[in-house]
Structure 1
């Protein structure tokens, strides 16, 4: 302990920031030097399940420690709440207690079994200096007065419920410099159209496991990274092309992907899992900037979709095939060799990685086609799905005998 006490105060505070608040406060009994040090820790994490403390004692502990805390700037206040007795009144008191501390990051997360707590109005009025706000499993209250988060750059809304569509518009419009938005919807969140109209947004995660008649409207002209997963939504409307997009993960179980893929045709790195091929993106779209494509092979149409993407991605350098989900149909995809070899195979494709290769006839035909025409191929990596050593050996032997157009192409088996 003496050696620890000799460390610079700034380093001690940083170390203490890694501890739960209960342990931070407990350091006051170590020595006279430590008696007041905890009051300056810039990060406080309160977890009401920690050491199974009774909620009344936990609430009083939070009240008192926040009142005594003296750091002029509080970087993080993290509330992990699971007890059923917690309500909006407690949170209102705690938010007001740090109102003058220039709070930069507020995280409020409830246990999934206690997702009916309504967050207080003080959330909108007290935390104007927030840079990061993360809310999980709670209910946002409606407000009639205007509010603003002038410094908020990072917002996460996970399994939240809302008073209606309008609050979403009001909330996002109150964040003029928002750059990073995470939205993971749940059933019965009381929102039909989730409007994301943020001109400053650069990173967007949209996951929809909500009501089947719900959807998204997206207007994000500055977007650079997109992660969108929708297995239940009715619609996804894109109001502007995302010309600055660099990376996108697109996973749809419905026909919403067409307009979306058309709006991100300038993407450089793309993950794709959609259940169709002919209408996956608008006719005439060309992915001029696409250099890396990962395609999920769980859908029956994946093979046709792949050939479309190869045809329309003239600069593709890296291709990865992976079965991320269970195969969703008993029917197998059908291989039809294209009449013309895609330009990327002749001029740019350098690597092929195939994860969970099964050695089915259509897979062997595709592998043979790529190896036979891959003029620039440098490395092909195959991971077999089979656990039978004899079966794996036969698969690998077949692949190793396939002819290769590129004399420098190496085949590796994992």
Structure 2
């Protein structure tokens, strides 16, 4: 311990920043050298889960006393995770601390405040909108935002997370984004009854966007205007309007699970994509005729919806450089939905003749239309190197019959390897668990970690 105590203050502060605040405070008893060090550590993280049930008052006292004694002129990280029973903590004190100490990264999370059972939701003071001018990242979870006559101002904010947040009205959401002139990463997880019908994201500097919405009966939708977007994930089920204004020439990858009245105003803005994961309920009006995805090299398409087959053939026709094709049954098919009908096209898509190398099919059932589609792709793909099928059935006899059925199909490529995967992937949630969505979340978290944001 003596050797560590000889280290300079700056290095000790760095070491202490990696410890929970509760443990940092306990270092004051080590020696005179450590007695006041904790009051200058630039990271404060308070989590009510670190206190056993029934010790909410102790947690509250600890929060207030440590904030009162803390003297660091600048806080790199200030984080609060508060439970319903610790809601008596004055959230205004938390915000005032962030303002006074010029906090760079602020996180405020309240458990279950967005649920209908909540009696006393935590309302953030309007001082948050104008006083935290040094914030680089802001995370809000299960809180209520108050309306403010003043302009929202986050001049340095680059990362914003809005999880289960309730807003004053429709107009307040664009007001928030208008006050973030350098925002690059946005993560929105909407909740039922958030007081917003059309969620408008108009951010010219935005590079990464994750937008998902908990399923409910409200007919709300979204509108996105972010011409610099590079990475996007959207999982929205709505009866309302869904659209993207202007093209996105820089976008590289997107995961789209969208249920809405019309989708042509979405895909027509994404022609620069290289990687696309898609689940749509419609194909006839999915995007305008004549549109081409000339940069698309990897496509993952959901086979759960009735129109998936028509959508697949359209995308194959309009994606001349496609190298990887993956089909997967993400959602359980509804029994009332009609089975798609296969009509073999008169012309083979150019991507099959010149570029497709990998073909994978998860949750393959060996239905009539599936067999015909699989045989068509295998028979006409001149560059195909491997075709892998993951049967939905666990019956070894059924799996063998499926393999034999496909094995006798002619192959255009002499090097094509046909295989049935050893493990059958489970039905995965399109937003949370897919590889592309993991990439989106990891990129978001990487940016948070880079800036010291929890």
- Looking at structure 1, the residues matched to 227 and 121 of structure 2 have their Cα atoms a distance apart, in angstroms, of 35
Indicate how the Cα distance of structure 1 residues 376 and 26 shifts in structure 2: closer, same or farther if over 3 A, else same.
Answer: same
Indicate how the Cα distance of structure 1 residues 324 and 8 shifts in structure 2: closer, same or farther if over 3 A, else same.
Answer: farther
User: What's 2:431 paired with?
Assistant: none
User: Is the CA contact (8 Å cut-off) linking 2:145 and 2:165 kept in structure 1?
Assistant: yes
User: What's 1:291 paired with?
Assistant: 297
User: Is the CA contact (8 Å cut-off) linking 1:63 and 1:94 kept in structure 2?
Assistant: no
In structure 1, list runs of 5 or more residues that go unmatched: none
User: What's 2:221 paired with?
Assistant: 215
- Looking at structure 2, the residues matched to 83 and 247 of structure 1 have their Cα atoms a distance apart, in angstroms, of 38
SS at match of 1:345: helix
Cα distance, 1:397 vs structure 2: 2.9
Cα distance, 1:337 vs structure 2: 1.0
User: What's 1:123 paired with?
Assistant: 128
User: What's 2:151 paired with?
Assistant: 146
Please identify, of 275-284 and 51-60, the stretch whose mean Cα deviation from structure 2 is larger: 51-60
- Looking at structure 2, the residues matched to 211 and 178 of structure 1 have their Cα atoms a distance apart, in angstroms, of 31
SS at match of 2:334: coil
User: What's 1:261 paired with?
Assistant: 267
User: Is the CA contact (8 Å cut-off) linking 2:382 and 2:412 kept in structure 1?
Assistant: yes
User: Is the CA contact (8 Å cut-off) linking 1:188 and 1:211 kept in structure 2?
Assistant: no
Alignment of 1:181-260 (within 5 A): 181-209=186-214, 212-260=218-266
TM-score by length of 1: 0.93
User: What's 2:390 paired with?
Assistant: 383
SS at match of 2:339: coil
User: What's 2:22 paired with?
Assistant: 22
2:365 pairs with one of 343, 358, 371: 358
- Looking at structure 1, the residues matched to 200 and 138 of structure 2 have their Cα atoms a distance apart, in angstroms, of 19
SS at match of 1:386: coil
- Per-residue CA deviation, residues 367-392 of structure 1 (Å, 9 max, x unaligned), is 11111111111122221221122222
- Looking at structure 1, the residues matched to 416 and 14 of structure 2 have their Cα atoms a distance apart, in angstroms, of 50
- Looking at structure 1, the residues matched to 205 and 274 of structure 2 have their Cα atoms a distance apart, in angstroms, of 20
User: Is the CA contact (8 Å cut-off) linking 2:229 and 2:248 kept in structure 1?
Assistant: yes
User: Is the CA contact (8 Å cut-off) linking 1:153 and 1:178 kept in structure 2?
Assistant: yes
User: Is the CA contact (8 Å cut-off) linking 1:59 and 1:90 kept in structure 2?
Assistant: no
User: What's 2:414 paired with?
Assistant: 407
Indicate how the Cα distance of structure 1 residues 148 and 374 shifts in structure 2: closer, same or farther if over 3 A, else same.
Answer: same
- Looking at structure 1, the residues matched to 197 and 182 of structure 2 have their Cα atoms a distance apart, in angstroms, of 25
Indicate how the Cα distance of structure 1 residues 146 and 6 shifts in structure 2: closer, same or farther if over 3 A, else same.
Answer: same
User: Is the CA contact (8 Å cut-off) linking 1:262 and 1:285 kept in structure 2?
Assistant: yes
User: Is the CA contact (8 Å cut-off) linking 1:17 and 1:43 kept in structure 2?
Assistant: yes
Indicate how the Cα distance of structure 1 residues 16 and 326 shifts in structure 2: closer, same or farther if over 3 A, else same.
Answer: farther
Indicate how the Cα distance of structure 1 residues 19 and 371 shifts in structure 2: closer, same or farther if over 3 A, else same.
Answer: same
SS at match of 2:310: helix
In structure 2, list runs of 5 or more residues that go unmatched: 422-454
SS at match of 1:80: strand
- Looking at structure 1, the residues matched to 349 and 134 of structure 2 have their Cα atoms a distance apart, in angstroms, of 52
Cα distance, 1:13 vs structure 2: 4.2
- Per-residue CA deviation, residues 315-357 of structure 1 (Å, 9 max, x unaligned), is 1111111111111344322221111100100011111121111
Indicate how the Cα distance of structure 1 residues 85 and 279 shifts in structure 2: closer, same or farther if over 3 A, else same.
Answer: same
User: What's 1:310 paired with?
Assistant: 316
- Per-residue CA deviation, residues 160-214 of structure 1 (Å, 9 max, x unaligned), is 1111112112111010001111122211111122221111111112223355222
Cα distance, 1:120 vs structure 2: 1.2
TM-score by length of 2: 0.85
SS at match of 2:121: coil
Cα distance, 1:154 vs structure 2: 0.8
1:341 pairs with one of 345, 348, 355: 348
Indicate how the Cα distance of structure 1 residues 32 and 322 shifts in structure 2: closer, same or farther if over 3 A, else same.
Answer: farther
Please identify, of 48-57 and 181-190, the stretch whose mean Cα deviation from structure 2 is larger: 48-57
Q: Which has the higher contact order (CA 8 A, sep 6+)?
A: 2
Cα distance, 1:133 vs structure 2: 0.7
User: What's 2:424 paired with?
Assistant: none
Cα distance, 1:84 vs structure 2: 3.8
SS at match of 1:178: coil
User: Is the CA contact (8 Å cut-off) linking 1:182 and 1:204 kept in structure 2?
Assistant: yes
User: What's 2:71 paired with?
Assistant: 70
Cα distance, 1:47 vs structure 2: 1.2
SS at match of 1:98: helix
Indicate how the Cα distance of structure 1 residues 140 and 391 shifts in structure 2: closer, same or farther if over 3 A, else same.
Answer: same
- Looking at structure 2, the residues matched to 29 and 332 of structure 1 have their Cα atoms a distance apart, in angstroms, of 71
- Looking at structure 2, the residues matched to 266 and 232 of structure 1 have their Cα atoms a distance apart, in angstroms, of 26
SS at match of 1:206: strand
Cα distance, 1:9 vs structure 2: 6.1
- Looking at structure 1, the residues matched to 405 and 133 of structure 2 have their Cα atoms a distance apart, in angstroms, of 64
